[in-house]
Amino acid sequence: MKEIFVTDKMQQGYIYILSENIGSNFHPDFNPELDPKTLLKLGVFGGKYMNDCIDEFPSDWFKDASQSKQYKDIEKNFFKIDASMPLSHWNNKGWIYKDDPRGWFQWYCRYYMGRRLIDEDLRQIKRWRSMKRHIGQITNNCQVGDLSCRKKQRQALLHWAYDSRII
């Protein structure tokens, strides 16, 4: 077990425990296709998602990350399209958990690192699974490999660790 101390723009003095090895022992209903390092490299959240908390995660996750220094830059996204709602929207919907104020991707990064929070993990895995409906919409409306078809849905799926480049 290892303690992680967090001090960034959204959390100061937050501590969590890593109880699993990195990238292992996931819940049987949770099998993301892409790891956080790959997502950051491909380009998600306009390159502006976790710039101030890179010390919390392995430095190699950010080595080739598609990041923006100052502002959200849609050109940093793999599909060059905005597929995100503002954090205020997620807060208003009650989808933000107090320990992960940045939302699902922060939860996923911490889960991937080895943090386990049983109730929150189950909630987030349920949310992750619900994104599969977008795969069906792409499959039913696009030619396989046509990355220009339903780009917004493809980018949203990337945000949720589904590899929409292969649909």
Q: Could you give the C-alpha distances from 4 to 89, 106, 137, in angstroms and in order?
A: 28, 14, 39
Mind listing the pLDDT tens digit for each residue in 83-124? 988 778 878 888 788 999 999 999 999 999 999 999 999 999
The answer to whether position 148 is within a domain reads: no
The answer to whether position 102 is within a domain reads: yes
Query: What sign has the CA pseudo-torsion 69, 73, 79, 82?
Result: positive
Rounded distance between C-alpha atoms, residue 154 and residue 135, angstroms: 8
Q: How many domains are there within the chain? A: 1
The answer to whether position 83 is within a domain reads: yes
Mind listing the pLDDT tens digit for each residue in 139-164? 999 999 999 999 999 999 999 999 99
Rounded distance between C-alpha atoms, residue 55 and residue 107, angstroms: 16
The answer to whether position 71 is within a domain reads: yes
Domain that holds residue 16: 2-133
pTM above 0.85, yes or no: yes
